[in-house]
Amino acid sequence: MGPGRSRLRTAPFGDPLAGVLLLLALLAAPAASNARQYLQVFVKQPYLELHSGPGRGYPVFHVVARDESVDVLFRRTDWFKVRTERGVQGWATQWDMLRTVLADGSPFTFNVGERSGFTSHRWELGAFAGQYGGATLISAYGSFSLNSQLAGELSVGQFLGKFSNGVVGDVGLMHLLVPEWRVSPFLMLGTGVIYLEPKATLVRPAQRTEQTAYVGGGVRYYLARRFFLRAEYKSHVVFTKRNQNDKVDEWKLGFAFFY
């Protein structure tokens, strides 16, 4: 440029653009830092039911198909609030969420050792003391939950009586009427066997094994953590080889825990 001409100095094109980008990044940083990362789980059952609220009284309004995913937003006792891939939010039961898997295929696990676990869990073990046909009874049982209200049970016990001793074994189903109640009643139905060893002073009667069937009911009472009380009654019918059926009443009370 010749003399008398002023020289215009401008910053390179990239400098103001870089400044604007930096400002936008600084403004967006708080929003990015506040974004939450939710756990993603996948449905492996035919479908996952979503309720409109955290309770059985709320209707099912949406289902999530097998192999679709949901984000776990938060948990309230034995209910999980989730969000589907399409943005639908609803509540799923703890039992249904136990049957979902993580992205790597491993089961979705969480603590069920509190009150929520009493409502819905997999296994129970317990021990009882009571009476079987007037004889002193000691027994134990194990239970596997098929869903939150139905379980398969196996029990074994030994009784000591005035006229005979014996061993009893039962297998059957237990139906919980209101599993979410702290004091929850239940009904039972099943079959079993009884091994009798009669007592005698002069002539020793023959030992025998008979088939049985039973109906019954009881109540569970949640104590704390994984422990609860269980009281139950069974009415047994013993099918004897003499074609003369006997009735035996069984009462017992004990402690149990779930996991």
Is residue 83 domain-shared with residue 194, that is, in the same domain?
no
Is residue 155 domain-shared with residue 81, that is, in the same domain?
no
* Separation between Cα atoms, residue 244 and residue 259, nearest integer Å: 42
Is residue 248 domain-shared with residue 203, that is, in the same domain?
yes
Last residue of a domain, one of 53, 76, 110: 110
Quick check: is 17 in a domain?
no
Is residue 104 domain-shared with residue 71, that is, in the same domain?
yes
Quick check: is 216 in a domain?
yes
Instruction: Please give the residue range of the domain that contains residue 190.
Output: 123-258
The DSSP code for 107 is B
Mean pLDDT value across the chain: 85
Quick check: is 10 in a domain?
no
* Count of structural domains within the chain: 2
Quick check: is 28 in a domain?
no
**Digit-coded pLDDT (tens) for 213-235:** 999 999 999 998 789 999 999 99
Report the pLDDT value the prediction gives residue 19, as an integer from 0 to 100: 62
Is the predicted pLDDT of residue 237 greater than 90, yes or no? yes
Report the pLDDT value the prediction gives residue 205, as an integer from 0 to 100: 65
The residue ranking higher by pLDDT, 179 or 117, is: 179
Would residue 20 be called left, alpha or beta, if left means φ above 0 and alpha means ψ between -120 and 50 degrees? alpha
CATH number of the structural domain spanning residue 74: 2.30.30.40
Q: Quick check: 45 and 99 in contact, CB under 8 A?
A: yes
Quick check: is 184 in a domain?
yes
Is residue 186 domain-shared with residue 246, that is, in the same domain?
yes
Q: Quick check: 168 and 156 in contact, CB under 8 A?
A: yes
Is residue 46 domain-shared with residue 149, that is, in the same domain?
no
* pTM attached to this predicted model: 0.59
Quick check: is 64 in a domain?
yes
Quick check: is 34 in a domain?
no
Q: Where are the beta strands (DSSP E) in the chain?
A: 39-43, 47-51, 60-65, 69-76, 79-84, 89-93, 100-101, 123-132, 135-145, 150-160, 164-176, 183-198, 208-224, 227-239, 246-258
CATH number of the structural domain spanning residue 191: 2.40.160.20
* Stretch 122-142: mean pLDDT: 95
